[in-house]
Amino acid sequence: MTITLIGYGEVGRILAEDLRRQDLAVTAFDLKLHGEAGEPLREHALLNGVTLADSHAAAVRGAELVISAVTASQAVPVAQACAPGLAAGCFFLDFNSASPGAKIRAAEHVNAVGGRYVEGAVMTSIPPYRIKVPLLLGGPDAAALAPRLEAYGFAAQVADDRLGVASATKMCRSVMIKGLEAMVIESFTTARHYGVEDAVIASLRETFPGIDWEKQAAYFFQRVIEHGRRRSEEVREVAETVREAGLAPCSAAGTAERQAWMADLADGGVFGRRGTPGFARSADWRTEADRILAHLTPKDRR
């Protein structure tokens, strides 16, 4: 099977490495490939034997499987951009964290040209699991694609033959997981300001004895600092999922705002410069909380 990756960020590069280890032909395209920002991506592709294309349509031409792994807001535009180059019968696996409504709209573009759209809901962080990350599939062609993915090492499970079910599962989970990240950052940074962090953690440990709050907080801070922009976009899709159900997304909207705020701080260099050893790598969440507190202006403190 000839495989194309649309999106060559962290997820795309991990999948490329694991697929190339099986001597599979892999082509990739990413909007960031051109220019200085694309240099690490081009180097990675050269090192791993990945062919780079110069457009969406060129990348998918001749592919039997296309995996879209971009930011949540680009799920539908990417499906639309890829559609003109898709061959009839080509599987289009949408890895993106988008709402059920967005997945259905993306499917319309792919299926209109004879492609076979399958939604994919990634159910936890990819880096620890890599290609074996738990993956829910949805849509009429999910059952046909599942055994092919399993043969390449994916841990894929068909959730439903209806589009939107797998994504709804993912999005509802993210209300909790991404919300917990935002709550821990907000709670622990505030506690650090008042000097009560140890008391707060002791109380949480008593209430939730199965969670190592020190370790969990360090992980949450690092993940949001490094991937807050992508996470904020995902949570905006989570909020849209809540709206599609008829509810006001009070929690999800606040989570998206906090994640984006952290991304702004990271882009502004509060946590060090990306690519340098000091960037967001502390095993103690207090280091990052102190950086946040030191950066806050009187306006921020209101």
Fold of 3-161: Rossmann fold (3.40.50)
> Alpha carbon 146 to chain centroid distance?
21
Per-residue confidence (pLDDT) for residue 247, from 0 to 100: 97
H/E stretch holding 157: strand 155-160
Q: Per-residue pLDDT tens for 9-28?
A: 999 999 999 999 999 999 99
Please tell me the distance from the alpha carbon of residue 213 to that of residue 219, in angstroms, as a whole number: 10
Between strands 116-122 and 134-138, the pairing is: antiparallel
- Residue 282 binned pLDDT confidence (cut-offs 50, 70, 90): confident
Q: Per-residue pLDDT tens for 239-281?
A: 999 999 999 999 999 999 999 999 999 999 999 887 676 676 6
Q: Per-residue pLDDT tens for 28-83?
A: 999 999 888 899 999 999 999 999 999 999 999 999 999 999 988 999 999 999 99
- Rounded to 10 degrees, the C-alpha dihedral 285/266/30/16 comes to -20
Please tell me the distance from the alpha carbon of residue 219 to that of residue 203, in angstroms, as a whole number: 20
Instruction: Please name which of 218, 117, 101 lies closest in space to residue 168, comparing C-alpha atoms.
Output: 101
Domains of the chain by residue range:
3-161, 167-295
Please tell me the distance from the alpha carbon of residue 191 to that of residue 259, in angstroms, as a whole number: 19
Handedness of CA 43, 47, 62, 102 (dihedral sign): negative
Give the CB-side neighbour count of residue 252, counting CA atoms within 13 A.
20
Per-residue confidence (pLDDT) for residue 37, from 0 to 100: 86
Number of H-type helices and E-type strands within the chain:
12, 8
**Which residues are 155's β-sheet partners?**
134
In order, the DSSP letters of 22-85 are TT--EEEE-GGGSSGGGHHHHHHHHHHTPEE-SSHHHHHTT-SEEEE---GGGHHHHHHHHGGG
Q: Tell me which of 54 and 301 has the higher pLDDT.
A: 54
**Which residues are 27's β-sheet partners?**
4, 51
- Mean pLDDT, the chain, rounded, equals 94
Please tell me the distance from the alpha carbon of residue 32 to that of residue 52, in angstroms, as a whole number: 12
Q: Per-residue pLDDT tens for 155-206?
A: 999 999 999 999 999 999 999 999 999 999 999 999 999 999 999 999 999 9
- Entry field: residues in the chain: 302
| Mean pLDDT across 201-219 | 97
Per-residue confidence (pLDDT) for residue 1, from 0 to 100: 76
pLDDT at 89 over 70: yes
- Residue 125 binned pLDDT confidence (cut-offs 50, 70, 90): confident
C-alpha dist (Å) from residue 34 to 41, 91, 257: 9, 27, 30
Long-range pairs for 23-28: beta carbons < 8 A, 24 or more residues apart: 24/152, 25/51, 26/50, 26/51, 27/2, 27/3, 27/51, 27/52, 27/53, 27/59, 27/63, 28/4, 28/52, 28/53, 28/59
Per-residue confidence (pLDDT) for residue 274, from 0 to 100: 72
- Evaluate whether the domain defined by 167-295 bears CATH number 3.90.1150.10: no
Per-residue confidence (pLDDT) for residue 24, from 0 to 100: 96
In order, the DSSP letters of 258-289 are HHHHHHHHHHTTTT--TTSTTSS--SSHHHHH
At position 125, the amino acid (one-letter code) is: S
Please tell me the distance from the alpha carbon of residue 128 to that of residue 122, in angstroms, as a whole number: 13
